[in-house]
Amino acid sequence: MKKSIFIFILLLQSYNSFSQRVSANISFGQSAYFGELQQKTIFLEQSSLSVIGGISYDINNYFRIRGELGLIEAKGDDKLSAKVYARQRNLNFKTTIYEAALLGEFDYLNWILKKDLPITPYLIFGPGIFRFNPTTIDRNGNKVYLHGIGTEGQALGNANYNYRKYNLIQLNFQVGVGSKIKLSEKVNVGIEVSLRKLTTDYLDDIHDRTYVDPSEFLAKGQILASQLSFRGDELGYTFADLKNSGRGNNNNEDFYYTFQFRLSFRLNNLPIGNGRYYYFSNKQALKSQRNPPIL
């Protein structure tokens, strides 16, 4: 009996300790991508809105792990390029990215100095998985999903183009830096910049340097693929004019990045009767009980 009581107390203390280490995080900001349709190094060029949320667990005073889900957008348009060949290429894309990541967060300066700072800089790093589905606006103003169209010959049944096929679910690796300020024992605010290196070059549906001849698409009845693979004709150029100018760049993978304002809440445990604990504020917890105790 005494042994059982001891184990119960130990588990309860461990649970309370665990709850004090957990935080909920939410961040809002901007996202952008770098690839064939966005080659400028200007920060957040052609940016979109992004939101990321999740939870973190403190391993110790300087290191924590984070599980996060993100809703991120990326886009690019040759019309906005400063390069002549890109404007002649006349391609565009946009995609919503659904991301899940498992990250480490390291308060490196606190660790070096062995003390808490008013403003805490940190590093983040770790793997993620994401789903994307690039779209474009065609010459009639309609939204078209590009993956199934096969703008680089993926749907032609030609074995020479099989290496151009790609999956819509891919892995990435994330690295970033941030800085946070402790407003209270429970609340931190800060900013964070994070880069995702991808395992695909098809975030924008563009990879290979060479165009597929439009006649190959037309021979298979793939009219839309012919129209969306080569779009210089919308500006008055012929395929012969631009076929050697290059469609993509198969030497580099795409990447996307975010700039976020971040808010973190520590989730303290709260007794609300019958020995149960919930991650709520006092007011919310008391409302969940029929006969709340006086705290």
Express each pLDDT in 46-99 by its tens digit.
899 999 999 999 999 899 999 999 999 999 999 998 889 999 999 999 999 999
**What is the arithmetic mean of pLDDT over 26-37?**
94
Q: Residue 143 maps to which CATH number?
A: 2.40.160.20
At residue 41, the pLDDT reads 64
| Domain membership flag for residue 289 | no
| Domain membership flag for residue 142 | yes
Domain range for 109: 23-269
Express each pLDDT in 256-286 by its tens digit.
999 999 999 998 754 444 444 444 444 444 4
Distance from C-alpha of 154 to C-alpha of 151, rounded to nearest angstrom: 7
| Domain membership flag for residue 207 | yes
- Give phi and psi for 161, each to the nearest 5: -105, 5
| Domain membership flag for residue 140 | yes
Residue of 144, 249, 266, 154 lying closest to 206 (CA atoms): 249
Residue 253 — pLDDT band, cuts 50, 70, 90?
Answer: confident
Terminal Cα-to-Cα distance of the chain (whole angstroms): 31
Cβ 120 vs Cβ 109: under 8 Å: yes
Residue 8 — pLDDT band, cuts 50, 70, 90?
Answer: very low
| Domain membership flag for residue 12 | no
| Domain membership flag for residue 295 | no
Angle value at C-alpha 88, between 161 and 46, nearest 5 degrees: 90
Residue of 89, 114, 124 lying closest to 235 (CA atoms): 89
Burial category of 88 from C-beta neighbours within 10 Å (exposed 0-12, middle 13-18, buried 19 and up) = middle
Structural domains in the chain (count) = 1
- Contact residues for 115 (Cβ-Cβ < 8 A; gap 6+): none
**What is the arithmetic mean of pLDDT over 216-221?**
96
- Residue 35 is given by DSSP the state B
Q: Which helix (H) or strand (E) holds 140?
A: none
- Residue 44 is given by DSSP the state T
| Domain membership flag for residue 10 | no
At residue 26, the pLDDT reads 97
| Domain membership flag for residue 5 | no
pTM of the model: 0.83
Complete DSSP assignment for 147-194? TTT-TTSTTS--GGGGGG---SEEEEEEEEEEEEEESSSSEEEEEEEE
